[in-house]
């Protein structure tokens, strides 16, 4: 019994350490990441993303939307511009600081909370929409995250998740100044690879794995294998070459 308790404590401590490592990484990346999102917001990508979201979301009513892993507030700004009521969460306090500044600068409105995507402090069936971009590949327990996202969605609500199968690649430092990840210090690139290789999601092939898991909840799932050409429309920004998949799931 004692050994079992020690094992559980060790696993818990390891999870806490990994969460802290991930949070510290994104805290350090927050300013550069915010500049990247500001560039997207000021160029053609913002209009392309907004058109894509308008095509997918229900029309004719104000939606209560949860932007999980809001980062610098990109989706929070777009959804606010579309007239929706937005709450953005992130586990990085420095990212949230950037998001708040960006939302104010854009003349938009959104609420922000520091929160773990895998442990949401919201009541069941609170939101019409749960949305996320390039987050799930960074999570230690994506299954638990999806359970929580499903829980806070209203019946008939929609989950939109945009991500890439980053488990397939090894990140490297970019010298091309047009690359969206240019000038990231080698130490941070190494740390990002180390974190990625610790995560179970990196062993799954996506988005097929995600779709199967969400269908087990009884959700209606549509997968778009690569929407890059629809939303990455700024020729002056060189994005990842991996497909950017879209998962659209309704509860």
Pick the CATH number of 21-250 from 1.20.810.10, 3.40.50.2020, 3.40.50.150, 3.40.50.300: 3.40.50.150
pLDDT of residue 63: 98
- pLDDT grade, residue 193 (50/70/90)? confident
Sorted by where each begins, the domain ranges of the chain are 21-250
Q: What is the DSSP letter of 238?
A: B
Q: What is the pLDDT confidence band of residue 180, given thresholds at 50, 70 and 90?
A: low
| SS3 label, residue 138 | helix
Question: d(Cα 110, Cα 67) in Å, to the nearest integer?
Answer: 10
Q: What is the pLDDT of residues 79-113, one digit of tens each?
A: 999 999 999 999 999 999 999 999 999 999 999 99
Q: At residue 248, what are phi and psi to the nearest 5 degrees?
A: -115, 110
Quick: pLDDT tens for 18-28. 889 999 999 99
pLDDT at 18: 85
The CA radius of gyration of the chain, in Å to the nearest whole number, is 18
How many other C-beta atoms are found inside a 10 Å radius of the C-beta of residue 222?
11
Q: What CA–CA distance (Å, rounded) separates 196 from 202?
A: 7
pLDDT in tens, 31-73: 999 999 999 999 999 999 999 999 999 999 999 999 999 999 9
| Residue 25 burial (C-beta neighbours within 10 Å; 0-12, 13-18, 19+) | middle
């Amino acid at each position: 019994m004692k050994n079992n308790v020690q094992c559980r404590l060790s696993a818990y401590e390891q999870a806490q350490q990994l969460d802290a490592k991930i949070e510290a990484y994104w805290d350090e990346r927050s300013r550069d990441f915010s500049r990247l999102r500001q560039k997207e917001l000021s160029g053609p990508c913002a209009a392309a993303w907004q058109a894509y979201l308008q095509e997918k979301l229900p029309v004719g009513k104000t939606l209560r939307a949860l932007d999980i892993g809001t980062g610098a507030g990109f989706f929070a700004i777009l959804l606010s511009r579309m007239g929706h009521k937005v709450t953005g969460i992130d586990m990085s306090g420095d990212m949230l600081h950037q998001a708040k500044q960006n939302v104010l600068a854009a003349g938009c409105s959104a609420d922000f909370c520091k929160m773990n995507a895998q442990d949401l402090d919201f009541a069941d069936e609170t939101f019409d929409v749960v949305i996320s971009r390039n987050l799930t590949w960074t999570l230690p327990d994506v299954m638990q995250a999806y359970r929580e996202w499903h829980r806070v969605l209203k019946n008939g609500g929609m989950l939109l998740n945009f991500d890439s199968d980053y488990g397939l690649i090894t990140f490297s430092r970019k010298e091309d100044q047009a690359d969206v990840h240019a000038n990231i210090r080698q130490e941070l690139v190494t740390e990002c690879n180390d974190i990625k290789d610790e995560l179970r999601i990196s062993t799954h092939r996506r988005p097929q794995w995600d779709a199967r898991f969400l269908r087990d909840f009884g959700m209606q799932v549509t997968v778009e294998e690569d929407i890059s050409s629809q939303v990455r429309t700024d020729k002056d920004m060189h994005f990842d070459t991996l497909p950017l998949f879209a998962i659209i799931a309704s509860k």
